[in-house]
């Protein structure tokens, strides 16, 4: 026994703000990093790793989505979808404005992925055919702009002009202030213009991203984004300039690129890359914010990968391929990666004010912090399972774990446990009674929430866990559960 006491070590996990790290073996990880982080996210308000919010069924769309595009200003999204009636496929367009679904009159002019921008109090929509206006006052109607180019793949606004991608090299611009005027008058600089990007370079324009006063253009050969080039378009006609910003890197499509602040994130065959502030584009190479998870992401990213900005959470969501029920989540303010899993394929995700909306199947759900369960489209509740797996304790000798403690938050209807080999340590409110001020009524026995947010409590247990290596795991069932810190007393034997 004296030998055990002489080499007693206290192993402390002060936080888990290192997030996922899949780039090194479990025994080489830092103690704030995780080998597995499923259905958990870092909480900036508590500093704890918290189980994601549960899904509340918001509404049924009644259609299967073929393409979804965000409305600028976080106002909702536009969906092009279909349903089957009498054995026939019927296509239609609907608009979701966070509060409800709206039917949209009219048909799209193309059958490609839709792109939306805001213009003069309404929206412009490109779908591979002629450009269209989407009016949202009184009625929701698509009106075709007959004077637009016949093929409009993407639409955006730059310096008072509407821009559209028309083929593999060309971007067409409308006259200044007029989305219906596209003809060029050589004597008038304010009329319609066009710009060739990477003339005859054998590549296609995959995406155009407005950023500040510039445009970032991604081009690549067919199905080879790793051999692409990124261009930066600066200035306005007639003084605009096309600069090459990065070589041998590119993205899959407009759906795999997101501008967030002064950064552009984009999906590649090697994972997720980013470009930094506008002033640096002419000089820099791509950086890799996914370096801790790229070993896995690079194996599962495909040409139909999608990136979504959930700004209310300061998160970038990465859907690696079509059909995926999982979303990789980057807290881009802190560089923390985790992963969410759902019961069905996520079609789209976005947020407004303090709400996160997730489109799964034919339904829209609101992801609510602290909600214990996921509710499906028929009202059935399903518990959310959060899982964290820490670094492996490996010394070369057998180790003996004698005590363990955790600091956590948990709702009364939730469950959580620490697993050390065959040892199980349950987290519960009755571990350490939680009082409000000097009141001796325990919070968790009251029906009303007199204590506000769930408070952290600490649980300690003695245990005997002896093995050549130990990998702690924490399983939390129910949204709102959280883990702040953890510690172990260990000896080598």
Indicate the domain borders of the chain.
2-51+387-492, 54-383
- Give me the residue label for tokens 């995780």: 34
Q: Work out the number of other CB atoms within 10 angstroms of the CB of residue 45.
A: 8
Report pLDDT for 151. Answer: 96
396 CB-near residues (< 8 Å, 6+ apart): none
Q: Is the pLDDT of residue 448 over 70?
A: no
| pLDDT higher at 3 or 288 | 288
User: Which CATH number does 54-383 carry?
Assistant: 2.130.10.10
* Short-list 405, 413, 411, 416, CA closest to 458: 405
How far, in Å, CA of 41 to CA of 47, rounded? 10
Residues facing 465 on adjacent strands = 401
Q: Is the pLDDT assigned to residue 324 strictly greater than 70?
A: yes
329 pLDDT more than 90: yes
Considering the chain, what is the average pLDDT of its residues?
87
Say whether 256 sits in a helix, a strand or coil.
helix
Task: Return the residue matching tokens 């921008």.
Answer: 117
Which fold would CATH assign to domain 2-51+387-492? Answer: Jelly Rolls (2.60.120)
The pLDDT of residue 13 is: 93
| Listed ranges 48-57, 394-403, 407-416; the one with the highest mean pLDDT | 48-57
How confident is the model over 462-481, as a mean pLDDT?
Answer: 88
Mean predicted confidence (pLDDT) in 155-181? 95
Sign of the CA dihedral running 409, 413, 414, 415? positive
- Report in angstroms the alpha-carbon separations of 438 from 327, 429, 441, 442, 483: 44, 18, 9, 11, 26
Write the pLDDT tens digit of every residue in 409-433: 988 888 899 999 888 988 865 544 3
Res. 182: pLDDT tops 70: yes
Q: Return the higher-pLDDT residue of 402 and 341.
A: 341
Q: Can you give the length of the chain in residues?
A: 493
* pLDDT, tens digit, 9 for 90 and up, residues 27-41: 999 999 999 999 999
The kind and range of the H/E element at 5 are helix 2-6
pLDDT digits (tens, 9 = 90+) for 269-309: 999 999 875 455 555 667 899 999 999 999 999 999 999 99
Fold match between 2-51+387-492 and 54-383? no
Query: From CA 452, how far away is CA 280, in angstroms rounded?
Result: 46
Range in 102-106, 334-338, 394-398, 426-430 the model is least confident about: 426-430
**What average pLDDT does this structure show over 228-251?**
91
b/e per residue 153-166 (b: at least 16 CB within 10 A) = bbbbbbeebbbbbb
Is residue 145's pLDDT more than 80?
yes
What pLDDT does 52 receive? Answer: 96
Asked, as a colleague might, if the bond just before 238 is cis with ω within 30 of 0, I would say yes
Which pLDDT score is estimated for 344?
93
pLDDT computed for residue 396 by the predictor: 74
In angstroms, the CA 269 to CA 125 distance is 29
**Greatest mean pLDDT among 12-26, 387-401, 426-440:** 12-26
**According to the model, what pLDDT value does residue 87 have?**
85
Output the pLDDT for position 102.
85
């Amino acid at each position: 026994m004296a030998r055990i006491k002489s080499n007693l070590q206290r192993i402390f996990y002060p936080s888990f703000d290192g997030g996922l790290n899949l780039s090194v073996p479990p025994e080489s990880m830092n103690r704030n990093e995780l080998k597995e982080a499923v259905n958990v996210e870092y909480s900036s308000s508590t500093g704890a790793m918290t189980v994601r919010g549960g899904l509340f069924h918001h509404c049924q769309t009644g259609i299967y989505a073929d393409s979804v595009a965000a409305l600028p200003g976080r106002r909702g999204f536009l969906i092009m979808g279909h349903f089957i009636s009498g054995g026939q496929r019927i296509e239609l367009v609907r608009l979701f404005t966070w509060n409800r679904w709206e039917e949209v009159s009219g048909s799209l002019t193309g059958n490609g992925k839709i792109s939306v921008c805001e213009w003069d109090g309404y929206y412009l929509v490109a779908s591979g055919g002629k450009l269209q206006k989407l009016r949202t006052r009184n009625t929701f109607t698509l009106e075709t702009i007959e004077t637009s180019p016949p093929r409009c793949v993407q639409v955006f606004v730059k310096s008072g002009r509407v821009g559209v991608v028309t083929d593999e090299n060309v971007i067409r611009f409308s006259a200044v202030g007029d989305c219906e005027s596209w003809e060029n008058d050589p004597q008038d600089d304010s009329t319609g213009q066009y710009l060739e990007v990477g003339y005859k370079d054998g590549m296609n324009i995959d995406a155009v991203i407005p950023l500040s006063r510039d445009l970032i253009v991604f081009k690549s050969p067919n199905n080879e984004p790793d051999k692409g080039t990124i261009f930066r378009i600066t200035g306005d006609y007639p003084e605009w300039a096309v600069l090459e910003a990065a070589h041998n890197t590119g993205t899959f499509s407009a759906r795999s690129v997101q501008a967030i602040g002064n950064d552009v994130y984009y999906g590649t065959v090697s994972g997720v890359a980013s470009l930094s502030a506008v002033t640096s584009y002419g000089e820099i190479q791509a950086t890799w914010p996914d370096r801790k998870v790229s070993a896995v992401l690079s194996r599962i990213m495909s040409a139909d990968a999608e990136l979504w900005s959930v700004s209310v959470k300061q998160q970038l969501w990465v859907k690696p391929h079509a059909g995926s029920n999982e979303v990789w989540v980057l807290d881009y303010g802190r560089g923390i990666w985790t992963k969410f899993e759902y019961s069905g394929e996520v079609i789209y995700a976005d947020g407004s004010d303090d709400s996160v909306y997730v489109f799964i199947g034919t339904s829209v759900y609101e992801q609510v912090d602290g909600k214990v369960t996921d509710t499906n489209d028929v009202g059935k509740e399903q518990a959310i399972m959060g899982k964290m797996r820490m670094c492996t304790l490996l010394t070369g000798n057998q180790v003996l774990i004698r005590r363990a403690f955790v600091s956590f938050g948990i709702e009364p209807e939730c469950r959580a446990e620490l697993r050390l080999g065959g040892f199980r340590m349950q987290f519960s409110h009755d571990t350490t009674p939680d009082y409000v001020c000097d009141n001796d009524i325990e919070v968790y026995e009251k029906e009303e929430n007199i204590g506000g947010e769930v408070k952290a409590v600490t649980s300690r247990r003695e245990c005997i866990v002896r093995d050549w290596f130990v990998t702690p795991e924490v399983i939390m069932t129910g949204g709102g559960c959280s883990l702040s810190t953890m510690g172990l007393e260990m000896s080598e034997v």
